[in-house]
Amino acid sequence: MFVAFLGTGGSVPTARRSTASILVGRGGDRMLFDCGEGTQRQLQRSLGLVHLDQIYLTHFHADHFLGLPGLLKTYDLGGREKPLVIHGPRGLRELLESLDRVLGRSRFPIELVELEPGDELARDGYAVRTFPVEHRTRALGYALAEDERPGRFDAEEAQRLGVAEGPAWGALQRGEEVAGSDGPVRPADVMGESRPGRTVVISGDTAPCLATAEASRGAQLLVHDASFAEEESQRAAETGHSTARQAAALAREAGVDLLALVHISSRYHVKTVLEEARTEFEGAFAPRDFDLVEIPFPERGEPRVIENGARERGSGEPTLAESGK
């Protein structure tokens, strides 16, 4: 599983930072969380123009969705036929209808799913859950949580109990009892404890809130609003944002492995803001655009930050057609 930071900027982009956009890859699934202006080019400049099938919007402020019309248009011009599902808080339909009036309808099917806090979308091997955040507008955080995986199968023990390799091994792993040389063998006799899946949480823009902490309990990665430095905590509260240090305190309490601070206002030195966060939680970092976090299964180690990883992994090199002059 990986998380690619396509846009790490605040409400206003900068020369270095595009507005909000995060791509999560798990197996063959590619999910985009928020879609600020320029998201399609951030994809083209790194992983390539992925044909996403799931998009999730946290809320409907301009810096979180202005890249959507262009992306849909580009898919359309490319002859896309594959359906696309766009999720967001209540109001999503109205937003897309307004955009349709400006742009015209896409020819490929787009399904709109309006979500409430606490909704859970079951996928193959994981679920996407929403939780309520506090941003002075209808806003959702998202937790992508993998299902528990079955424990490790002890082949030697199975053989010792007289269960030979073959269909009986599969039955045990599916949770069924089978016959051994010395009586019935139960799954618990040969299977280790079930292993936790991975969890990634994306807060979107929000003041620090309990729902985020609860959704993040034991998560491998929390991506959290860190709009302000501590000196402006009052302003953060007024605007429904967090200081980097508040985000870090929340991450420490929730016991996450890694905290990615995003949406840092361009008025600050990122370094200063990050130092404030690290006084609370050593696992805080501030991704730049195109950084990537690789998340192994928990038993295989900690999440790893790969600087510029989304470019290295991608097809972001100019094509022949582009490089000629």
What does the alpha-carbon distance between residue 130 and residue 140 come to, in Å, rounded to a whole number? 6
What does the alpha-carbon distance between residue 9 and residue 304 come to, in Å, rounded to a whole number? 21
- Is 182 marked active-site? no
137 binds a copy of itself (CB under 8 A): no
271 binds a copy of itself (CB under 8 A): yes
Q: Which residue number, 15 or 299, has a Cβ lying nearer to a copy of itself?
A: 15
Q: Are 227 and 10 in contact (CB under 8 A)?
A: yes
3-state secondary structure 183-244: EEECHHHHECCCECCCEEEECCCCECCHHHHHHCCCCCEEEEECCECHHHHHHHHHHCCCEH
Q: Are 251 and 286 in contact (CB under 8 A)?
A: no
95 binds a copy of itself (CB under 8 A): yes
Q: Which residue number, 64 or 87, has a Cβ lying nearer to a copy of itself?
A: 64
Q: Which residue number, 129 or 241, has a Cβ lying nearer to a copy of itself?
A: 241
225 binds a copy of itself (CB under 8 A): no
DSSP conformational letter for 162: T
98 binds a copy of itself (CB under 8 A): yes
Binding mask 3-42 for a copy of itself (x = CB under 8 A): --------xxxxxxxxx-----------------xx-xx-
The gap from C-alpha 140 to its chain's centroid, in whole angstroms, comes to 13
The 3-state DSSP composition of the chain as helix, strand, coil percent (nearest 5) reads 30, 25, 45
State the nearest-atom distance from the C-beta of 96 to a copy of itself, in Å: 10
Sites for a copy of itself among residues 58-77 (CB under 8 A): 62-63, 66-67, 69-70, 73-74, 77
For 177, the enclosing helix (H) or strand (E) is none
Q: Are 247 and 204 in contact (CB under 8 A)?
A: no
Which of 91, 75, 95 has its CA nearest to residue 83? Answer: 75
What does the alpha-carbon distance between residue 317 and residue 91 come to, in Å, rounded to a whole number? 38
Sites for a copy of itself among residues 302-321 (CB under 8 A): 316-321
Q: Which residue number, 34 or 63, has a Cβ lying nearer to a copy of itself?
A: 63
78 binds a copy of itself (CB under 8 A): yes
Q: Which residue number, 41 or 195, has a Cβ lying nearer to a copy of itself?
A: 41
What does the alpha-carbon distance between residue 64 and residue 105 come to, in Å, rounded to a whole number? 21
The pair of structure tokens assigned to 187 is 């799954």
Q: How many residues bind a copy of itself (CB under 8 A)?
A: 51
Q: Which residue number, 19 or 242, has a Cβ lying nearer to a copy of itself?
A: 19
- 63, 205, 225, 291: the active-site residue: 63
State the nearest-atom distance from the C-beta of 315 to a copy of itself, in Å: 9
What does the alpha-carbon distance between residue 198 and residue 1 come to, in Å, rounded to a whole number? 8
Sites for a copy of itself among residues 274-293 (CB under 8 A): 274, 286, 288
325 binds a copy of itself (CB under 8 A): yes
300 binds a copy of itself (CB under 8 A): no
Positions in the binding site for a copy of itself (CB under 8 A): 11-19, 37-38, 40-41, 44-45, 62-63, 66-67, 69-70, 73-74, 77-78, 95, 98-99, 101-103, 266-272, 274, 286, 288, 316-325
Q: Which residues are known to be catalytic?
A: 63
